[in-house]
Amino acid sequence: MFNSCYHVVGTCNGLVCLVDDLGCHGYNLIIWNPCIRKFVTLPEPPAVLSGGCEVSLGFGYDAVGNDYKVVRLVTLSDQCQNFHEWPTLFQVYSLVTGSWSRLRSVLLPCQVFGCQSQAFVNGALHWCAICWTNDAFNYFVLAFDLGSELFREIMFPKSLKWDPSLALRTSVSRDGKSIAVFTDWRKSHTDYFLDIWVMKEYGMEKSWTKMMVLSAEVPQRNLPKALCFRKIGELLVLEDSYELLSLDLVSRKFKRLGVYGGQYCSVDSYEESLVLLDSNYDVSY
């Protein structure tokens, strides 16, 4: 095991996908159903013959094949190349077959950084990505349809430009039918900004709407890290002290929830299910 604890890749229909080396090689994965106390240990994916790589993961449900899948994006790194020239490969684990597919190339030339959060909505996984086009860096959402196993790109607003200090995270929108993106960036050593973008209509790039801009001008203090929307429309955020807060987007007031997490805190929706009850690959504990 790479780390002393597992980190959450994602949750779906009562299942939780966990990995013990988030952002590294993504070899040790399990799919766990806490309700029935059973889990599946995934076989180690085929090795990538390269000196270095960054791995991003996603987990969701394929309604077409009635299957749960883990997607592993592997970006090969080479110190002799600029990062936008690094090739990205992917492979898919199927719970039905209990095996990984062969490594395939992502047709879209892009970079997905390790530890990126994923968002599963409308049968597809989504990550924030960056590409080099027209002599400039451009951000977009890399989407992977679990049924067809095809990639597509959803471009960001043109006003969102490359900045070395920019960090992005994807989430499901508050109505659960589209995606949201949180961007935090630093204007100076004392000025921090958190922008909240929501795609009002899924797949319609013209529907990107900036919901809010938060700023902080306190030296040596960062803004809370945006995690995800709550069903009541508020935004869950994590403070530097690892305390979970709820942000009202209208009043812009924070509410303390009395919950403390850690550096790798993860928040997602969860509902109990009996998935894995009849699986031949599960382990009880």
Q: How many angstroms from the chain centroid is the CA of residue 73?
A: 11
Given this model, what pLDDT does residue 273 score? 84
Residue 213 maps to a domain = yes
Evaluate whether residue 260 is within a structural domain.
yes
- Say if 1 falls within a structural domain: no
**pLDDT of the chain along its 285 residues, tens only?**
344 577 889 999 999 999 886 555 667 899 999 988 899 999 988 776 555 677 889 999 999 999 999 999 887 766 555 655 667 889 999 999 999 998 888 767 788 866 667 899 999 999 988 887 777 788 889 999 999 999 999 988 878 777 767 777 777 777 788 998 888 776 655 567 778 889 999 989 999 998 877 776 444 456 677 888 887 788 888 887 788 889 888 888 888 888 887 666 777 777 888 888 666 655 555
In a domain, 55, yes or no: yes
For 84, list phi and psi in degrees, rounded to 5: -75, -5
Predicted pLDDT of residue 220: 42
Count up the domains in the chain and report the number: 1
Residue 255 lies in a domain: yes
Q: Range of 119's domain?
A: 7-280
Give CA torsion, residues 151, 200, 129, 48, to 10 deg: -40
Question: Does residue 285 form part of some domain?
Answer: no
Residue 2 covered by a domain: no
Distance CA 10, CA 228 (A): 12
User: CATH code at 193?
Assistant: 2.120.10.80
Question: What token pair was written down for 255?
Answer: 């509410």
Domain membership flag for residue 232: yes
